[in-house]
Amino acid sequence: MQIPAADRPPLSFPSRPLSSLPAATCEALHVQPDWTAPRSPFLHTWEGVINVDQFRWMVRGDMQDHLELAQKELGARHVRGIGMFDDEMRVFCPSPASFMGYEAKDPRTNWQTVDYVMDSMLDRGLSPMFTTSFVPKAMASGSTTIFSTNASTTPPKDLRQWAALVQDGVKHAIDRYSLEVVRHWYFEVWNEPNLKGWFWDGTQDQFNEFWRATHQAIKSVDASLKVGGPSTARAEWVDDLLRYGDQHHCCPDYLTTHIYNNDSPTEEALAPFAGAQLEKNSRSPDSAANLMRQFRQRMNRVGFKGELHWNEWGRSFHAVDARREQPSEAAFIARLLADVSQEADSFAYWCLSDIYDQVGYGREAFHGGYGLLSLQGLRKPSYHAFQLLSLLDHQRVKHTGSGLDSFRNAIVTASQRTAHVLIYGYDHADNPARTALKITVDLPAGAQAGKLYRIDSSENNVVARWHELGAPAYLSRAQTRELAATNALQACPGAVRTEGAENQRRACFTMEAPGVALLEIKLAGT
């Protein structure tokens, strides 16, 4: 179906010059933290889990480099990728000896490729999420597949055979890595089964039976292993799964679900790729955050005590969206996490890398793909947003101010030695106008303003530099090196000044909206 023009993302980038903005577009924001008030915990819930499109890509050296970068710079600890049981992972296939008739042609379990991926994660200080998807074709009850990767989406023809595969995989992991190690992993059942005709070609009742068989197979190896689901879009089926689990002794240890800000509010399947429903996109900038908050409240009411994981989320579910690579995406990320990051245990943005192929493989160096990193591993503005968020301290400070609203606001944090103020300026328009923001921040007594970081139309923006090179689809090796040389997160020397008396000092600086800025503050005595 043709996407309606109103909901079609722009495929070209803004052509506005990157020079200084005229004074007429300047707005003033004053942030007044209450430095003496009691603080609240501020958990870095966005750091724990990162998404890779599929397990198959983690056999690539460049994807392993991307994982290593995320572990070092984003605080990643767990890696989630769907398709662990896909045929390309060779987990259930005939022996090569069967080709000449030396062995039977019946499929057998084979964990060599999975072991290679697991080893590469563990060697980099990462743990896998053991994702039980999809059904090997030799086990599937039908021939339905999805996307260019041909993942099999029909239920298993024999749940006992499926359970034996899952059980064998779990036992093998424990034999190879030890129970002590594997107990720290997460085991996730399937991916978005509520999207009929997409990731699950069965009924909800069939999924419940599938869930029970998979849950019991994992728990039969060791009851302490953490099994979660249902990984549905828009938090659907969760209440049903909890009821079913309670009735059949297979309750989830943790819950996983997904949301994109432009998901449909209807019960019809939309995210992530159901083209027929694109005309029902939400235009609200708060759609995702509202659902996340309501879901937390709902789980509190039913008394669920386990972890909640938003293990797939973003502003847009569109596979190609040029806005995703602009400063507005960085501002969207900061704004959403400022609002709801304490409402769950994990917020795993979709996804880490442009190494992705469900509806096609990207060609251009920057093509509006899902990744925080480009195909060449270059950090996009959205990647830098997570870097700035991870520089924040672990105690949140209350603040008031002038010029602040739901689109232009701040996260203020502090520790014993430092404080940080992250400012975001968001605009939900498809092609937002650039606005200069004049920021003043009240400093604690005796404190000094430190480094300032900005993400905007030119600073910490590799996509803008790519356009300056002429936006070549294929970067030469020299161009890649040139872009990579200045691609690390960079502070803005001399961009902050202070004013006012000794105990009433303010830090002053400018930034752009859409964009994000982070001010480092050195507290007295440090």
| Together in a domain, 211 and 336 | yes
Is residue 213 one of the residues assigned to a domain? yes
| Four-CA torsion 296, 300, 303, 307, nearest 10 degrees | 40
Please give the Cα distance from 185 to 254 (Å, whole number): 12
Is residue 434 one of the residues assigned to a domain? yes
CA 501 to chain centre: 43
Q: What is the tally of structural domains in the chain?
A: 2
| Together in a domain, 333 and 440 | no
| Together in a domain, 224 and 100 | yes
Is residue 432 one of the residues assigned to a domain? yes
Is residue 16 one of the residues assigned to a domain? no
| Together in a domain, 342 and 477 | no
Is residue 256 one of the residues assigned to a domain? yes
| Together in a domain, 222 and 178 | yes
Q: What DSSP letter does each residue of 226-273 carry, written as one string?
A: EEEEEEEETTTTHHHHHHHHHHHT---SEEEEEEETT--SSSS--TTT
Q: Which of 368, 391, 414 is the last residue of a domain?
A: 391
Whole-prediction pTM? 0.92
Is residue 45 one of the residues assigned to a domain? no
- Which CATH number belongs to the domain containing residue 58 in this structure? 3.20.20.80
Is residue 270 one of the residues assigned to a domain? yes
| Together in a domain, 283 and 401 | no
**What's the confidence (pLDDT) of residue 240?**
97
| Together in a domain, 432 and 384 | no
Local confidence pLDDT in tens for the 526 residues of the chain = 223 333 434 333 333 333 455 544 689 999 999 999 999 999 999 999 999 999 999 999 999 999 999 999 999 999 999 999 999 999 999 888 777 777 778 899 999 999 999 999 999 999 999 999 999 999 999 999 988 888 999 999 999 999 999 999 999 999 999 999 999 999 999 999 999 878 999 999 999 999 999 999 999 999 999 999 999 999 999 999 999 999 999 999 999 999 999 886 554 444 444 443 444 445 789 999 999 999 999 999 999 999 999 999 999 998 999 999 999 999 999 999 999 999 999 999 999 999 999 888 999 999 999 999 999 999 999 999 999 999 999 999 999 999 999 999 999 999 999 999 999 999 999 889 999 999 999 999 999 999 999 999 999 999 999 999 999 999 999 999 999 999 999 999 999 999 998 778 999 999 999 999 999 999 987 6
- Which CATH number belongs to the domain containing residue 430 in this structure? 2.60.40.1500
**What's the confidence (pLDDT) of residue 282?**
58
Q: Which of 365, 391, 417 is the last residue of a domain?
A: 391
Q: Which of 391, 411, 428 is the last residue of a domain?
A: 391
**What's the confidence (pLDDT) of residue 19?**
41
Domain range for 253 is 51-391
| Together in a domain, 404 and 375 | no
| Together in a domain, 345 and 414 | no
| Together in a domain, 36 and 55 | no
Other CB atoms within 10 Å distance of the CB of residue 501: 6
How, if at all, do strands 186-189 and 307-314 pair? unpaired
Is residue 46 one of the residues assigned to a domain? no
**What's the confidence (pLDDT) of residue 26?**
87
